[in-house]
Every structure is written in structure tokens, then in C-alpha cells.
Structure 1
């Protein structure tokens, strides 16, 4: 017969080793300790950071183009029974032809309009200041006139100082400028090769990764990779396609109403439309400033073009192309844009949303695993139901 004293667990085992809260706190402490260690020996990872910094631009550029071109390759391969290599070669030839046509036809026009707009922008800015001064002469605004003038002059001087400092830095730091130019050339030279092999080996890429994963985790890892791939493809294809058509609509609309620099403003609108929710509203600001000093009726025309573009985009373009690609609250989107822009600048604004989408999928999968392993959520039907609904949504999008 077993002695109860021998089978009884010690207080250390019961309070610490077998206590879920204590184990969770220990894991958090270990994670923080690892982060602190990495932060204090960052010099060890400097070569790794340099390597990643070198390969990151061409891989990202090739990845974006992959998500745009891959549906064309898959369609040709399945419907026309064309060999994949032949399809990829024809797509590359078409891209080169389009680039050559754009360089010959569109680039000179955009370059001329952009140069004219840059040359005339100081005049527009001075006229805007004059209009603001005239507005401040209204008696009703006399109480805030000095304050507004002070803030306006402070902002203007700050912008001028910032631009001058940046220009000085650019000219003084020749090594940095050469490095940037070198990175651009490396990206242009290597991205097509990376893209070619992405398109060629894309169908077997996931299976190749899964060969390094233990058999027990291959199914869950495969589902995770599929969900991430689907989320990124939906966002990149949808966002870039919508941005293209937004740029086309603005360029055509501005050309019809006779707005100056129509093509340049259209390209600017398409690029800024990559910023969710804010892009189109930011793009119309320079158009309104230019229109205001062309003639008063041009402002109304620009607003009409903006209203028509927003209607077409929201009613037809976005629902057809994008659909419900990202299950994100607008406030979440704005907070991500602000945080990513503050930390990583323009690159953070452009890549913050897809990075969040990937992290969200990883967190949801980890939460599902932790919920089962920890046993802390046993009997919580609402959490289980919500998690199941999330997984069903991801699976349904994956099937579609």
C-alpha cells in the first residue's frame, strides 16, 4: 500500500511548478530577459541586420509583383494549358513592352508637368499666404489674427528649416547618397530574377518549407502559411489595383476639366491612395490649391471630379476588386498608420497594414494553441465560439 506522505506533492510543486499563473509569469519574465539580452548585444546582430537590409528591398519588390502577376500565370496555365515557364516569359516580355511604352510616351509628359508644378509651387504658396492674410483682415477674426499669423509663420519657417537641413545632409553625406543609389540599382537588377523564380517555384514553395517542419505540426503550419498568403495577396492585389484606377480616374477627370498638371496630379492621387482612408483626401489638397489660383470655377470642377471619383470608387471599384479583404476596424487602421508612420516613416505607412495582418493571424493561431494547452479557458463558450467563427471566416476566404 502506498504511503500518502510519499505521494503528497510539496508546497513548492503545488504553488510554483504546477501553478498556471506562476508559469505564465515566468515565461513572460524569460521573454523580457531575452529581449533585454538582444538589446544589449545588438552589435552581434549587426551583420545580420546589414544582410537583411540589403536583401529586403528586392525581395519586397519581387513579392509585390508576384502577387500581381501570379493570377495571370495561373489563369494561362489552367485555361490555355500553356507551360508555366512560357507563360512567365510572355508576361516578362509584356511588362518590358509596357515599361518601354511608358518611358517613351508617359514619362516625358509627367516629367514636364512635375517640373512646371515644382517651379510654380512657390507662387501658389505665396498666393495662399496672401489669401490667408486677407482673410485675417475680417473684423470677426481680429481676436485670433496674431495667433494664427504666429503659428503660420512658425510652421513655414520650420518647414523651410527642415528642407534646408535635409538638403545639407544630402550634399554633405555623399557616402549615404551613393549607398542609396547603389541599393536602388541592386534592387532593380536583382528583383526581376527573384520574381522569376518566385513565379516558377511558387506552387511548390509551401511544400518545400513544410519538409523542414515536424510531421506533427505540418497540417497546422500549412494552414498558417495559406492564411498568411491569402491575406497578403488580397491586400496587395486589391490595394494596388484600386490605386491604379483611382489614379486613372483623377488623371482623366482633371484632363477633361482642364486642370493644370492633370497627369502628375493623377499619379500623385494613385500613389497616395495606397494609404487607407486618407489617401484621396490628401491627394485633393494640392489640386485644390492649384485650382484656387487658376480660377474660382475650377475649384468647383475639382470638387465635382473628386465627388464622382469617390462615388465610383466606393460603389463599384472597391467592392468589385477589394471586397472584404481586411477585417479591420477603421480606428485600428488609423492607429496602425500613425504608429507605423512614426516608427518607420513612409515605408511604415505603406507596409504597416499587411504587417499587422500577418501578426494578427500569427497571434490568433498562437492564442488557439495556448487556449488548448493552458486550460485557462475551459468552459468559456463565448471565447471558443468567437475563435471558431474567426477560423471559419479565414477558411471560407481561403476556399474562395
Structure 2
């Protein structure tokens, strides 16, 4: 027996040495696909060992991330269509409940839903572009405006009592402002040049828009099969342990993405309509920005209010418009906090403000704009995992009560 074990060990060592030599010789021909295939072939028979099973899934996740990064441009229309199908799935279920065939339901949603989104985008894009250009033209006027504003601020007697060198302070503030405005001008110029060089990407975007209706239709039509397949995979023994985490993440993302989009659309419509009635310049653009600010709590709405205040202050009737705009923001924010978010979004994605800011800045630093967009639901999911580990006795209560799942623990 010992001789057999020693012979096996010697054969294994020689084979390993030969494999390493072979890998060294063909290193230029190696690819992540080939490496993954070899590792999967070697690890799969040994997955009865828990550590080997985890190693196999870790390698699989890394390989999936590589595939996604390599094919991200090609997969973009498919991912967008899948997201649209996911967002419209409740409407699909409502139509199916009324005994409308699935193919006809998918066709109706694609025509009116996706077609409506594309139509609104096509109709609003020229006006939004014009308003962006008009606001950009205000940048050269800002130094004179701020100089007058500072002169008015420093005209109060309190600055004389403090014996401040008002002119020196004004000069420093205006110098810093001019530097920032110059940086903005450089950014705008670089953005225009980059946009001009991105004509191939524009063509790709047009192709994506053309493909979206067809892909969304087929995803909607086969979404139940896709869901059943994922459910069957999760029912298998290796994946059964993560089913509850998949369900938890699904509930959080479902509430956040669908709920936030509905509230954002309502707020965009309200802001744009009211700003237009008030007579604020660039009401469409400011309304869209104010509604979209919901995606970044505190930071987004503060930026939107600052931009709206700047546009109003450069207008012809600032005093009255400031009053009505302030009442508009106050009313819609009250409506959002006490009605729309609790009723539509729910409580699963409520975060402590400190955690919220930390998640936004951290995800933005590591993953850019995409990280900022997903920072809140991902952080809510991570907090839910931590809560479940720290308070397992309350796990069932948390799952049953959406409102309690989002509140922070002392």
C-alpha cells in the first residue's frame, strides 16, 4: 500500500512539473477562457470538499466578471432590455390576470411602454439640449453677478464692526470663483471634443435603441421561463444555501428600483409643470434635474435647489419666483417624505444619513457614476446581511415587515 501511495505521489509530482513546464512554454497562448476551462475540469470532481466547492464558485465568479467586462459593449442592449422587462413585469402580470395572452401582453407593453419611452426621449431631447446650451451660456455672466451679490452682502454694518478688509475678501472670493469657472469651461470644451470623437459610440447607441423593442418583447414573453430556470438552479444543493439572500436582495432591489423610478417620474412631471406655470426659465431641464435628484438623497436635491436659485436670480422677477419655487420644493418634498416614498418605495432601503453618505462617496470613488447609482440598494442589502448575522432572532420579523427592515438599530 505504501509503495502504491508513493508511486501515486511521484506520478502526481511529475505530472504537475510537466504541466507547469507546458504552461510556461505556451504562456503566450493562454487566455482566461482556457485557464478557467482547465481549473473547472480539475476542480469539478472534488467539489464534495466544501473548500474546493467555494474555490470553484470563486473562480467561476471571477471568470464571469471577465466575460462581462470583455463583452460589456455587446451585451448592453440585452442588459437594458432585461432591466426593462424586469420593470414591466408587474404590468405583465396584471395583463395576464385579465386573461390576455402572454404574447399579446408583451406586444402591448413593448409598443406602448418601450415605444412611449423612446418617443418621449426623441421629443424632449432637442429642448433639453437647447436648455443645457442656454444655461452654459450663463457661465460668463456669473462673475459680475457674484460681484454684485458680494457687494450687497458686505454692505451690512456688521463687517465694518469686525474691521474686515472687505475689498481683499471680495478679491479672494472672485479669484477663486474665476478659477473654478475656467475649469468648468475647460471641462465643457473637452466634453464637446470627446463627444465629437465618439461618433462610433453614437452609432452603437442608435443600434441599441433599434434593437431594444425586439429584445424587450422576447424577454417579456420568456421572463417566466427565465425566472423558473433561475429558481431551479437555486433549488439545487450547491445553491440552495444562498436562496434566502437572493430573495432578500431581490426584495430590496425590487422596491428601490421600481419605486424610485415611479416617484422620480411623478416628481419630474410636477416640478417641470409647476416651474413652467411660475415662469422660471429652463423649467423642463430644472424639473427633470429636481425629480432625478431623488436618486441621490440630500446631495441631489441640494444641487438642484442651488441651480434653480441661480437661474431665478438671473431672471426678470426673482423675488416672486423665489417664493413660489420655495413653496414648490417644500410641498413636493413633504409629499415625497410622508406619502410617495413610504407608499411606493417602502422602508427596506432607508439608511442612516451617515451610512448613506459614506456609501455614496465610497461607491462613487471605486466604481464611478455606476457605483453612485447602485450605492444605496447595495448598501441596504449589505446592512440587511449584517443585521441578520447580529440579530438572527429577528430575521423573520425583519423579512415580514418592510418598514422595520430599513430602520437603523441603535
Length-normalised TM-score, structure 1 = 0.71
2:230 corresponds to: 209
Distance 1:168 1:345 in 2: 19
Q: CA deviation at 1:393?
A: 1.9
Is it true that 1:167 corresponds to 2:189 in the alignment? yes
Residue 73 (structure 2) pairs with residue 54 (structure 1): yes
Q: In the alignment, does 2:371 pair up with 1:348?
A: yes
Q: Distance in 2 between matches of 1:45 and 1:101?
A: 35
C-alpha distance in 2, partners of 1:212/1:313?
A: 39
Contact 1:246/1:270 (CA < 8 Å) preserved in 2?
Answer: yes
The equivalent position to 2:345 in structure 1, one of 317, 322, 335, is 322
SS of the residue corresponding to residue 102 of structure 1 reads helix
User: Deviations 1:150-206 (Å, cap 9, x if unpaired)?
Assistant: 24422431442354156347637976x245435534543444444334323322324
Whole-angstrom CA distance in 2 between matches of 1:120 and 1:258: 18
Matched, 1:389 2:408: no
**1:67–1:237 contact (8 Å) kept in structure 2:** no
Equivalent-residue separation in structure 1 for 2:122 and 2:207 (angstroms): 24
- C-alpha distance in 2 between matches for 1:57 and 1:345: 18
Unpaired stretches in structure 2, ≥5 consecutive residues: 1-50, 404-410
Query: Does 2:169 match 1:150?
Result: no
Instruction: Write the distance in 2 (CA, Å) between the matches of 1:45 and 1:83.
Output: 35
Say which of 271, 275, 279 aligns to 2:300.
Answer: 279
The unaligned stretches of length 5 or more in structure 1 are: 1-26, 36-41, 368-382
| Partner residue, 2:29 | none
State the distance in 2 between where 1:97 and 1:194 align.
Answer: 13
1:300 to 323, 332, 335: 323
1:188-233 alpha-carbon deviations (Å, 9 max, x no partner) = 3444444334323322324323544573345433333222222111
Q: TM-score, normalised by structure 2?
A: 0.70
Query: What is aligned with 2:102?
Result: 84
CA 1:257 to 1:166, structure 2 compared with 1: closer, same or farther past 3 Å? closer
> Of 103, 116, 127, which aligns to 2:145?
127
Name 1:20's counterpart in structure 2: none
1:231 and 1:355 map into 2 onto residues whose CA distance is 9
Q: How does 1:1-400 map to 2 (within 5 A)?
A: 48=67, 50-55=69-74, 57-78=76-97, 80-95=98-113, 97-99=115-117, 102=120, 106-124=124-142, 126-138=144-156, 140-141=158-159, 143=164, 145=166, 146-147=168-169, 149-161=171-183, 163-164=185-186, 167-168=189-190, 171=193, 177-178=198-199, 180-185=201-206, 187-212=208-233, 215-294=236-315, 295=317, 296-360=319-383, 367=389, 383=390, 386-395=391-400, 397=402
Question: How many angstroms does 1:258 deviate by?
Answer: 1.9
Name the CA shift for 1:92/1:213 in 2 (closer, same or farther; >3 Å): closer
Mapped partners of 1:197, 1:65: distance in 2: 11
Q: In the alignment, which residue of structure 2 is the partner of 1:6?
A: none
Secondary structure of the 1:318 match is helix
Task: Give CA deviations for 1:111-158 in whole Å, capped at 9, x if unaligned.
Answer: 444443333453356323431244235453462743464244224314
Assess if the C-alpha contact under 8 Å between 1:58 and 1:187 holds in 2: yes
Distance of aligned partners of 1:125 and 1:307 in 2 relative to their CA distance in 1, 3 Å threshold: farther
Cα distance change of structure 1 residues 182 and 211 upon mapping to structure 2, 3 Å threshold: same
Considering only aligned residues, what root-mean-square deviation do their CA atoms show, in Å? 3.7
Inter-CA distance 91–103: structure 2 relative to 1 (3 Å threshold): same
1:16 corresponds in structure 2 to none
Stretch deviating more after TM superposition (353-362 or 165-174)? 165-174
CA contact (8 A) 1:247 1:267 kept: yes
The question of whether the paired residues in 2 share the 8 Å contact of 1:206 and 1:225 is answered with no
* Pairwise CA distance, 1:290: 1.8
CA deviation string 1:59-92 (max 9, x = no partner): 55334423431110011112x1112221011011
Aligned residues: 342
